[in-house]
Chains A and B, each alone.
Chain A
Amino acid sequence: MSGERPQSPTLYSAVGGVAGERGGAETPSVSAPARLRAALKRIDIGWSLITGYTVAVYLFMFIPVAIVMLLAFNASQFGAFPMEGLSFRWFVALWNNDAIVRAFRVSFLLGGLTALISTTLGVLAALAIVRYRFPGKNLISTALVAPILVPEVVLAVALLLFLRWLDIPRSFFLLLCGHVIFTLPFVLLVVQARLVTIRRDVEEAAMSLGAGPIATFFEVTLPLLMPAVFAGMLFAFTISFDDITGTLFWKPGGLETVPTQIFAMLRHSVSPEINALGTVMILLTVGLPLLGAGIARRMARTRGG
């Protein structure tokens, strides 16, 4: 097929040339559509190659995830195919595993607090950066976003060494601080982007009507900012919930989050319980942002954003 393809344009143009000598006007109508058809066919093949390749890449990425989720429902003792029937036994086992339930509790608490603190700080920082002028503003705004750019391991080791140097023992509080530091940039960027679209004169109108700066913030700025605040909060929660690198470095002994718990369990054996745990994690970290995005979009619509 492809061997004769390069020839076809020459063939067609040769025919066209003959036709041209014979009867001028109809020449283009004979050769042009034919040439076009040939070109389209070539493009078709190109496209199907690209499509096929893309599909292959995605399959490669998602098949393992799908397998994990599938095997979580496997009734067999061993996490392998063929599956021996559907069952929720591994989820039940999870529920009865104290270590895992404890890890979930820690992760939720940590994620929740991280989201709360990060969002509060992020909103305040965004307000300062967008609405006020102060010395060192550029430096501060860069420093706040820097944790995104620095590799997490480097950040984790640096903070750990710093704490060693200060002779502060690791604790839940410090773990929380670490999570806040590297979720803050995400919140800040999202909130900042929304804040610049909120017109200053809307706030000025509120103030002229008698609302002080604080009332103006809660009556006007915050409601208009809400979709971004909400999105930032979800970001912070999921990132914190997902995180393993920093957490491994910072967590005090005896405290496990879900990812570090999985990590610890993997050291012993690959039990089907882990498949079930993975499934729960996937549902949480994919489902929450999707849910959040939906809610944020609806909020943005009703708030005229």
Chain B
Amino acid sequence: MFVQHFINALGLGALYGLIAIGYTMVYGILRLINFAHGDIFMLGAYFVFFATIQYKLPWGLGVAIAIVGATACGLLVDRIAYRPLRGAPRISALISAIGVSFFLENLAVVIFTGMPRAVVQPPWLMKPVILGEVRLIPLGLMVPVIAFVLVSGLLWVVYKTKPGLAMRSISHDIETTRLLGVSVDKIIALTFALGSALAALAGIMWALRYPRVEPFMGVFPGFKAFIAAVFGGIGSIPGAMVGGVILGFVEIMSVAFFPKLSGYKDAFAFVLLIVILLIKPTGLMGERMEEKI
């Protein structure tokens, strides 16, 4: 029983973490809360739904389409809603972010209708594996493993490659980074692309876990993932993952062991947020962020 809860919590937490990474990377570089990020997650889920269930494409192809589609949307959001405001006061970009989020959600209602649609899970993902007393489904095991691989890959990009070096540099000093020959807009676009691709993958796995998609499915996970990012220390990629996993555990375990609390499940994220802000305002693994000049 506990093993099942454990895997479950790890999976939910890994998904929060994958979304949180997109928030944390964009915030680290631009000091911008990209409110549209949860909607990119939703679009990723929809794209895979249409590709595989509506158009009967194989899952591998559907996943690829969803990643490419959601990444393109993330890049468009940066290009249209944020890049023209680079020099503007930060509040302008923030308002633009909220606007984009509403726009994407309502566009999804118009195009996809507000009706939730059921996702048909591929049977091989759901076929239980029995280990003694424990019943595990492959999907539940796959989610944390995939998340781990993705995050390792991302850390490699950020810490071992040239664009990654430029990303880390931009987050401290945009002007000096440009002075050294980095095309900052390209690196920012890359950041949005990576964050969107991870959100799309999280959206796909989310759609498989809670097998449905709907236009507002990104709102709560997005909100919680943002809290996970703040909890872990905004700007820190490992922090986002750790924050996500902790939140996943708090939600799953509290409901598992105190079923009476299940009605309050969505409030735990806020409790965690308040606690960390009181004890360590920079989050678990965060460093102080200087204001951008």
Asked whether A and B interact, the reply is no
Which residues of B are in contact with A by a Cβ distance under 8 Å? none
Which residues of A are in contact with B by a Cβ distance under 8 Å? none
